[in-house]
Amino acid sequence: MGERVFITEVGLRDGLQNQPVPVSTQDKLRLANALIAAGVRRLEAVSFVHPKIVPQMADAVEVLAGLPKVDALNVTALVPNMKGYERAREQGLKRVAVVVSTTDTFNLRNLNMTTAQTMEASLSVIRQARQDGLSARAYISGALACPYDGPTPVDVVHRMAEQLINGGADEISVADTIGAGNPRQIKDILRPLVAQYGAEAFNLHLHDTRGMALAMAWAGIECGVRKFDSSVGGLGGCPFAPGASGNVATEDLVYMLEASGFDSGISLEGLREAVAIAEQATQKTLGGRILTWMRSQDALKAAKAQPCAS
């Protein structure tokens, strides 16, 4: 058994939130059940935002209520403010996530607040979560590049991480929100932070817009990080980056890690079933690169099994 790596599946939240085709509660729960059957034990399932802003998340309460009761299942909800936090706490969640973007422009477009205001709102949620006995993850969104202001200076990310950790965040998720980063940036960001706070305090949330997500994940591995976000089938996309392909596909990340000697606890065959459900629900073709290869092997085996012509 290799060293354990922890993957948080964010397809139900980040993957679905911008999908143009409405996805029913029933289909979300079918997908959740398939992911859990595949071995997923960390699930960012919903966000508590205004339904007019993100209609796909309007059924957050129903989704949480319908999730199976599985030992060691760690469910997170994204909460943009204290109102969202209270709704998550009412549902009995033990873990929430907040998000702060790296620039005023991004925060104003995303949450209609400046960076300072967003940071204070996030710290308020984190403080309340600690008081209530909940854990809190903090996303630093646009950590490698802002869709409006360009590349993000490393020291900006370092200062924000320090504020959030000192404010009580249990985990910092360094997010390449638009998939514009590269492995060198990951190392420049993570090495000083890991040296100061320890690798266990950090998670990587990587989008694969430019095909760099797996290379960036490996850079994180080399820095000692063992926690990652991914999205089944590569579900997602970003409204700030036209053509963005969504988060790194869970199946590609699992394959890379398992092939390199790590243990994710997640079954590739199980993920294939989850991808099929996601395709039906979103009415689009999904799947990481490893699924293309697996399908080619299936076709090869089927061809070999055919009887020879006499």
For residue 178, the domain's CATH number is 3.20.20.70
Residue 254 in domain: yes
Instruction: For 183-224, write each residue's pLDDT tens digit.
Output: 999 999 999 999 999 999 999 999 999 999 999 999 999 999
For tokens 């980063």, the residue is 181
Is the separation of the CB atoms in 202 and 225 below 8 Å?
A: yes
Question: How many domains does one find in the chain?
Answer: 1
Residue 97 in domain: yes
pLDDT of 241 > 80? The answer is: no
Instruction: For 124-136, write each residue's pLDDT tens digit.
Output: 999 999 999 999 9
Residue 159 in domain: yes
Residue among 67, 92, 98, 74 nearest 7 (CA): 74
Residue 268 in domain: yes
42-47 and 74-78 strand pairing: parallel
pTM of the entire structure?
0.94
pLDDT of 88 > 80? The answer is: yes
Range of the domain at 299: 6-305
Active-site annotation holds for 238: yes
Catalytic one of 146, 223, 238, 308: 238
For tokens 């020879």, the residue is 308
Q: How confident is the model at residue 168 (pLDDT cuts 50, 70, 90)?
A: very high
Residue 310 in domain: no
Q: Which residue has the higher pLDDT, 53 or 226?
A: 226
Residue 1 in domain: no
Give the pLDDT mean for 72-90: 96
Q: What is the pLDDT of residue 238?
A: 67
